[in-house]
Structure 1
């Protein structure tokens, strides 16, 4: 298809800001958000000086259409005070997307996860990904006012709810009754003020010295799911507390946010700036706008080294990549920029257009590792800058978080209830990106061996046995499930599956069953057994050689009966290697449809050993030591070669050396 062409036009900053505020809800074309650069050269790069101060983005042509259902519209003004306190005012307009009137309303008050007794602290033990909460460093959110657009106060109606665990000390989810029901397609506007006490950062938000990470920092409307969304038979709220394992889920909408910080601070945020920051009385006010996003995150520090470049390629019509780097990594800006550009280019080519005009990459300082490796719409954080010569973890973290822009940001799965659709898909894509860009290839067999406690993938995040089990399944096992599909259908068909899934469900909040439908429609066959075993249940593949019975025949030859077993997972073809003492080998394919199968072989030489899946193509087999069995014909009883797991791996690697 011919490439779209875009015409650059200039709009005064003040007029741009005025127009943003005057766009009617639900009809905003967001002319100042989805810009694209001229697509004549691929890629285009326009480096900015490292010392440049981030300013307003230059408007180009508008995108042609609204991309999401835009359920929520936020106008927020927030001020950073005393280094760790946010005071804010927010106007939230919410549109009822369903077919029934709604009178009960739900708000997420996520910063209360850092208050004593919260479910998050109980479940996490005050740590996340190895980063621990500092003693006494609590955080909180207080709603200081809540009213209708007409001024009727609703604060006395507010009560905290704990639908998941009944913990009376958890205040991360609140509900209240509206004065009047909101009819289908109608809107309600709420005005509120709030104060947030930021903890010392350890779990996605907080402070570290003069560094601030504001994630999940404002009162956020819960998701009202319509009938048919993720398989729902009736519409209703999908509202959960903040848990130790869980991340987030929200509706798409518009965000117009003013951020007031001390004058020396630079601010990175979701979306783009609509005007130059205003400076007055030692303070600086930034103004950001974003549409067709389901969250808004920001970070601030006076120490950031700022670099900006423009980039375009196939699937990336035009984007400004903005780096906010800790000074320790200032000399590594080319590595960060290369990783960001390369990841965006491949994601756009593989899956579809990146629909936003900006992508900000924030590198936290060494003492803010809890803010590292996180994703927000159009903003990601890399690993904290702990040394000046990091290995590939620098690139791996950046490409992983940018891959989230597609599966978390645009597809927007429910991370409360089906986290693998984000983390598993992102981890799978991360591997693809690292292989394509840096020739770093994972070892799936070794990774599968880490899976010691498999659990279902379609499961509420807080129901996993532990944080380790959550990570093991949602990230690693989820990724390997996708790799297992690829192994069966081939890379070309798998690429088509992933692209079709993205194109079909972008901005739609899909479910595991929606993904299954795409797999089945693309491959033209049923995958019920596969999804039952690996997604709805916590199974792994387990192919084993149960026994070998060899005897000498009267004709001077040997007859062997080999019993094979499939002890878990779904049927799939597997290669079986029969090795004879005279050096001859025989390769057969077992379709894996039965739980047990017996092979009968006759040969002039005795059978020496049998190995199932010698090329380790069965990605989800995490129990490989029983894939091999050696025969000792001189003994009455054939015994399994008694070796430990490490020796088994050595043996299988030896088998492959041919």
Structure 2
């Protein structure tokens, strides 16, 4: 059992966290605490105590406002789900009662679920944190005052405009680095709170933060806030890799080598949420892919640009791994259980939620580039962000923006990729070449007694391509002949299979589906190409590696046994 970040062999009291509303007053209507009642709009679970409903004593007139005064008490658990305490470290996330969102003519408030993120409306936050004086603090928004109290505490005040959540952290051991980034809308104060054991990685954290800011401002739009705090959380705290407005947590270890790009991946991903979660602010309970998935797609684009397409995840000791492959691998682990367009809490399990919300969405949008063009896709992403920032758009707002910018009707694609669970899987079924004169007696070379090579021999060649999955997608097929001639075919994929026929004075040597590698949704890439005559070189290479490994292991064991 456990949360999305932590597992427990047994439940202990320290894992329990809560927010208790002690009283709620409506100015002009009095104390309405007794009118609070728990509801479970998602699953009717009577034991769920995460959503409360309040009916006011009298309606709020049109154009007027109402003021609430809420007294509450929060108990933090030992860190789980990116909130709580670990040793002398505290991360304050989801720590206060949040008002539902008035959205499309109704109040939108969902229960606290294991796999979902959150949804809240924009506002102005003024927060005072009182902590021991030796604590180093970081938080959303701008620090406006820091006052030492007579009881050896201090009160730090923060102000945040146009944000929809507020998070904070405190630890007496943080090491701090501050610098300034000159953004399109003015300077941004960058603040890095690092664990002492990770201080040697501060330059990596700052470099990827600046490079990510560069790309997002250039490609998608301006970052309008005046601060950004990057927190290196306590080791083993389940607090890494989380996003809040102007505040993110990173993730690393003491041994992180330069070629393992985990630092860069986590910082870039969590900063990307400042755009899709922070400013566009979609409903993550109902369409998690609009944040996590779009953010995974822009993660691919940004990190490929910074670190290299094939090395954006790993470039170490000759081993390489890229972001597009990582996202696709994530998707194909659970490709057909759930659609992207469904409530985040309705996925069959957390593996399906992660594989579809993150990996599939990224792969769907990368594949979409091949359909409408990369430049058009870039323009659509920029248009979507600029048009819908601070508005809580829906999935149809996003999909229609792509159609409007591209000028294409893409419902055939969206109905399968976004709203459906169809799996894309194509294969080269066969490729053969036969002499058209196979039945005639061959001329013999008088001296050698062998068949004379006849350059005029015509071959009948057949190439058969099969659609194994139920996702219908037009594909390109490249056929290569032994005279180096290449022929590009295009198949609409409507039938289960198709066959291409050729009569040439040359034989087919290889066939490849999607030769430009623009389709990232195919479940099995190994059967997308076929060599008529197998190439022994890869086998020989792997055999050599295996021989080296076994000999090295044997020698090491012999040395150890001495």
Which whole-Å CA distance do the structure 2 matches of 1:299 and 1:384 have between them? 17
Q: Summarize the Cα distance change of 1:482–1:418 in structure 2 as closer, same or farther, 3 Å threshold.
A: same
* CA deviation after TM superposition for structure 1 residue 380, in Å: 0.4
Aligned equivalent of 1:208: 86
Matched, 1:349 2:205: no
Confirm or deny that 1:616 pairs with 2:517: yes
The equivalent of 1:149 in structure 2 is 27
Judging changes above 3 Å, is the alpha-carbon distance between structure 1 residues 446 and 562 closer, same or farther for their aligned structure 2 residues? farther
SS at match of 2:498: strand
Partner of 1:592: 492
Find the counterpart in structure 1 of residue 284 from structure 2: 415
Partner of 2:55: 177
Q: Which residue of 2 aligns with 1:467?
A: 350
Q: Deviations over 1:324-383 (max 9, x none)?
A: 111112233222222222211221121111111111111111131x11110000000111
Map of 1:453 onto structure 2 = 334
Q: Does the Cα contact within 8 Å between 2:146 and 2:154 map onto a contact in 1?
A: no
Structure 2 counterpart of 1:39: none
| Correspondence 1:374 to 2:242 | yes
Structure 1: how far apart are the matches of 2:10 and 2:301?
Answer: 37
Q: 1:420, 1:503 → 2: CA distance? A: 19
1:572 aligns with 2:455: no
Contact 1:497 / 1:518 at 8 angstroms: preserved in 2?
yes
Aligned to 2:555: none
Which residue in 1 is equivalent to 2:135? 265
**Alpha-carbon distance, 1:465 to partner:** 1.7
Residues in 1 aligned to 2:154 and 2:84: alpha-carbon distance in whole angstroms:
20
| Distance in 1 between residues matched to 2:369 and 2:349, nearest whole Å | 29
Structure 1 residues 449 and 374: CA distance shift in structure 2, 3 A? closer
* 442-451 vs 135-144, greater mean Cα deviation: 442-451
Shift of 1:250: 0.6
Which residue matches 1:247? 117
Distance 2:301 2:185 in 1: 18
Matched residue, 1:434? 303
Cα offset, 1:568, TM superposition? 3.6
Q: Deviations over 1:591-617 (max 9, x none)?
A: 425334332211234445533224433
Give the direction of change, closer, same or farther, for the CA distance of 1:624–1:170 in structure 2 (3 Å limit): same
- Alpha carbons of 1:625 and 1:342: their partners in 2 closer, same or farther (altered >3 Å)? closer
Q: Is the CA contact 2:293–2:361 (under 8 Å) kept in the aligned structure 1?
A: yes
Query: Quick check: 1:339–1:399 contact (8 Å CA) kept in 2?
Result: yes
When residues 127 and 586 of structure 1 are mapped into structure 2, their CA distance, relative to the original with a 3 A threshold, is same
**8 Å Cα contact 1:326/1:385 also seen in 2:** no
**Is the contact made by 1:206 and 1:214 (CA closer than 8 Å) also made in structure 2?**
yes
Contact map agreement 1:365 1:384 (CA 8 A) in 2: no
CA distance in 1, matches of 2:166, 2:95: 9
What runs of 5+ residues in structure 1 fail to find an aligned partner? 1-124, 227-234, 633-640, 651-658
Secondary structure class of the residue paired with 2:70: strand
Greater shift in the superposed pair: 237-246 or 588-597: 588-597
Equivalences for 1:505-544 in 2 at 5 Å? 505-544=388-427
- Higher CA-based Rg: 2
CA-to-aligned-CA distance 1:463-507 (integer Å, 9 cap, x gap): 112111111111111111111112233322221111111001101
Change (3 A) 1:148 1:386: farther
Give the Cα–Cα distance (whole angstroms) in 2 for the partners of residues 413 and 274 of structure 1. Answer: 29
Deviations along 1:283-318, one digit per CA (max 9) or x if unpaired, are 1111111111111111111111122112104x3521
Q: TM-score, normalised by structure 2?
A: 0.83
SS at match of 1:366: coil
Higher relative contact order (CA 8 A, sep 6+): 1
* Aligned positions of 1:283-302 closer than 5 A: 283-302=153-172
Give yes or no for contact 1:561–1:600 (8 Å, CA) kept in 2. Answer: yes
TM-score by structure 1 length? 0.72
**Mapped contact 2:340–2:361 kept (Cα < 8 A):** yes
Q: Secondary structure at the match of 1:434?
A: helix
User: More deviation in 346-355 or 587-596?
Assistant: 587-596
Question: 2: distance between equivalents of 1:132 and 1:622?
Answer: 34
- Counterpart check, 1:560 vs 2:461: yes
* Cα distance between partner residues in 2 of 1:443 and 1:614: 19
Deviates more, 1:499-508 or 1:135-144: 135-144
Match of 1:359 in 2: 228
Aligned to 2:360: 477
Q: Secondary structure at the match of 1:275?
A: strand
- Structure 1, 620-629 or 208-217: larger mean CA deviation: 620-629
**How far is the alpha carbon of 1:162 from its aligned partner?**
1.1
Q: Provide the C-alpha distance between the structure 1 equivalents of 2:173 and 2:245, rounded to a whole number of angstroms.
A: 23
Question: Residues of 2 paired with 1:411 and 1:481: CA distance?
Answer: 20
Q: Contact (CA 8 Å) 1:270, 1:379: kept in 2 or not?
A: yes
Query: Does the C-alpha gap of structure 1 residues 239 and 373 become closer, same or farther in structure 2, counting only changes over 3 Å?
Result: same
Counterpart for residue 98 of structure 1: none
Q: Secondary structure at the match of 1:220?
A: coil
Q: Deviations over 1:221-271 (max 9, x none)?
A: 011103xxxxxxxx1122211111100011111111111112221221110
> 2:174 touches 2:193 (CA, 8 Å); kept in 1?
yes
Change (3 A) 1:145 1:204: same
- Whether the aligned pair in 2 keeps the contact of 1:131 and 1:203 (CA below 8 Å) is no
CA distance, structure 1, for counterparts of residue 256 and residue 478 of structure 2: 49
Q: Does 1:189 align with 2:67?
A: yes
Closer/same/farther in 2, CA of residues 445 and 394 from structure 1, 3 Å limit: closer
- C-alpha displacement of 1:133: 8.6
* 1:185 CA displacement: 3.1
**Equivalent residues of 1:545, 1:563 under 8 A apart:** yes
Going from structure 1 to structure 2, the CA distance change for 1:280 and 1:344 (only over 3 Å counts) comes to farther
Cα distance in 1 for partners of 2:175, 2:390 equals 33
Counterpart residue number, 2:40: 162
RMSD: 2.5
1:336 maps to which of 198, 205, 229: 205
Query: What is the CA-CA distance between 1:418 and the residue it aligns to?
Result: 0.9
Q: CA deviation at 1:405?
A: 0.4
1:128 alignment partner, SS class: coil
- 1:133–1:202: 8 Å Cα contact kept in structure 2? no
Q: Distance in 1 between matches of 2:366 and 2:427?
A: 21
Deviation at 1:445, TM superposition (A): 4.8
